[in-house]
Amino acid sequence: MNEAAIVGFFEELAAASPHPNIVGVKLTCGGIAKVARVRAEFDPSEFFALAGQSDWLVPAMAVGSTGTITGVANLYPKYCIEIFDLYNAGKLQEATAAQLKLAQMEWAFGKGGINGTKWVVAKSLGYPLASCHCRRPYPQYTDAEKQAWIAGLVAPLAEEEAKINARA
């Protein structure tokens, strides 16, 4: 097995099963270079790359990404949109400053894992306790120290989100 065989297989598979609704890719690897290569090869109207986390939205857009698909938007959607809009308006300093605030919180999502992320989003939005946990085999996120840690890291953006909501 070699790279040419693997690439050849997937190229053959793609050619045999074209799908007009596949228009882009979500990259969760954080690979800015991959975003740049996708943009160099394709016009975004043909195929585009999206950042897989919001903590690299501004850098990804700088090399041709068209946006992000992020779990953070479940908790702070307006803040994510604010960064996107600031960047697109050419307000790079403001977009970068907002990006830096968001990066710390996105890190908490990553370190908390899937069950920590689900717990903090559900808890922060006031959902019932039963909806705060992932299905098995994920363990319940019940460690009070971990809960306090992740809640503390995501809380600062609540004020920013509220300010944006007040402007709307």
Q: Which residues of the chain have pLDDT under 50?
A: none
What is the span of the domain harbouring residue 12? 1-69
Q: Does the annotation mark 26 as catalytic?
A: yes
Helix (H, G, I), strand (E, B) or coil at 130: helix
> pTM (2 decimals)?
0.82
- Is residue 62 domain-shared with residue 107, that is, in the same domain? no
- Is residue 42 domain-shared with residue 121, that is, in the same domain? no
Domain boundary residue, one of 44, 69, 94? 69
Looking at the 3D structure of the chain, how many domains does it have?
A: 2
Q: How many CB atoms lie within 10 A of CB 82?
A: 20
Contacts of 52 (CB under 8 A, 6+ apart): 26, 27, 28, 29, 30, 68, 69, 70
Catalytic site residue from 26, 91, 111, 163: 26
Question: pLDDT value at position 34?
Answer: 95
- Is residue 98 domain-shared with residue 163, that is, in the same domain? yes
